[in-house]
A and B are shown apart, each in its own frame.
Chain A
Amino acid sequence: MVLHTLNQAPANAACMASALAAMTAQDTLLLIEDGVYWTLPTFASQLANIPGSVVALAPDLQARGLTSDAIESVDDAGFVALCVSHDKVVSWF
């Protein structure tokens, strides 16, 4: 079980493609920093069928004036809980 964090906006599609290639169905993808723009409906639809689950970091959403409907969000405590519940964390940036 791997927690993948990704902090790049959708313009950096290669970063997302690499992260997704490395994911399994047991893994979680956490969108942070500019990665939260992937929660915009036009991009979120591209994440609908990825292996594993996807969540976004709430403070980064709020900071950018985004509300995530399609993708679940977690607060900082939730981020920590994810780090603990996964074997390792892999950052994509």
Chain B
Amino acid sequence: MSTDGILVLTRSAPYGSSAARDALDVALTCSVFEQPVTLLFLDDGVFQLLKEQSPSAIAQKNLNAVQQSLPLYDIERLCVGRSSLEQRGLSGAELILPVELIDDADLPALLAQHRHVLSI
């Protein structure tokens, strides 16, 4: 696979900080500038993808809403660390969108496939 595009790496749980929202905003902005974007969720970042989020009572925007618009921005590749999910007792079925599970052993190759890696 060629080295192209931007990998947005996000490892923070949502709502406790603006990191999850920032990662999504960066991904959308990259897409608007026609840069191919892949999202990679590791560690607590996998919590961003849980279904049924409803943060109105804590006065925050629902990440799930924006996440569901990702295909309209041509952001189709969502990667999730398999071990991060498993350590948290979660499975792909509990996530809001279809994802590609990445084994630890395949992480270096995923980094190598992208021109830039943005950690947010």
Q: Do A and B bind each other?
A: yes
Q: Is A93 an interface residue (CB 8 A)?
A: yes
Contact sample, A vs B, 15 pairs, CB 8 Å cutoff:
A2-B111, A14-B43, A15-B11, A18-B81, A21-B83, A21-B104, A21-B107, A22-B107, A22-B111, A88-B114, A89-B117, A90-B117, A90-B119, A91-B119, A92-B11
Number of A residues, CB within 8 Å of B = 15
> Which A residues form the contact surface with B (CB < 8 A)?
2, 14-15, 18, 21-24, 27, 88-93
Contacts A23-B108, A90-B9, A90-B111 given; indicate if A18 touches B42 (C-beta within 8 A). Answer: yes
| Residues from chain B with Cβ under 8 Å of A15 in the complex | 11, 43
Residues of chain B within 8 A of A14, CB atoms compared: 43
**Counting CB contacts under 8 A, is B51 at the interface?**
no
Chain A residues contacting B107 (CB-CB under 8 Å) are 21-22
Q: How far does the alpha carbon of A24 sit from the alpha carbon of B9 in the complex, in Å?
A: 18
Residue of A nearest to B40 (CB): A22
Q: How far is the CA of A81 from the CA of B2 in the complex (A)?
A: 26
Q: Which residues of B contact A21 (CB under 8 A)?
A: 83, 104, 107
B9: chain A residues at CB < 8 Å are 90
**Which residues on the B side are within 8 Å of A22 (C-beta)?**
107-108, 111
**What CA separation (Å) do A21 and B104 show in the bound complex?**
6
| Neighbour of A88 across the interface among B42, B84, B117, CB < 8 A | B117
Beyond A18-B81, A90-B119, 16 additional contacts (C-beta under 8 Å) are A2-B112, A14-B43, A15-B11, A18-B42, A18-B43, A21-B104, A21-B107, A22-B107, A22-B108, A23-B108, A88-B111, A88-B114, A88-B117, A90-B9, A91-B119, A92-B119
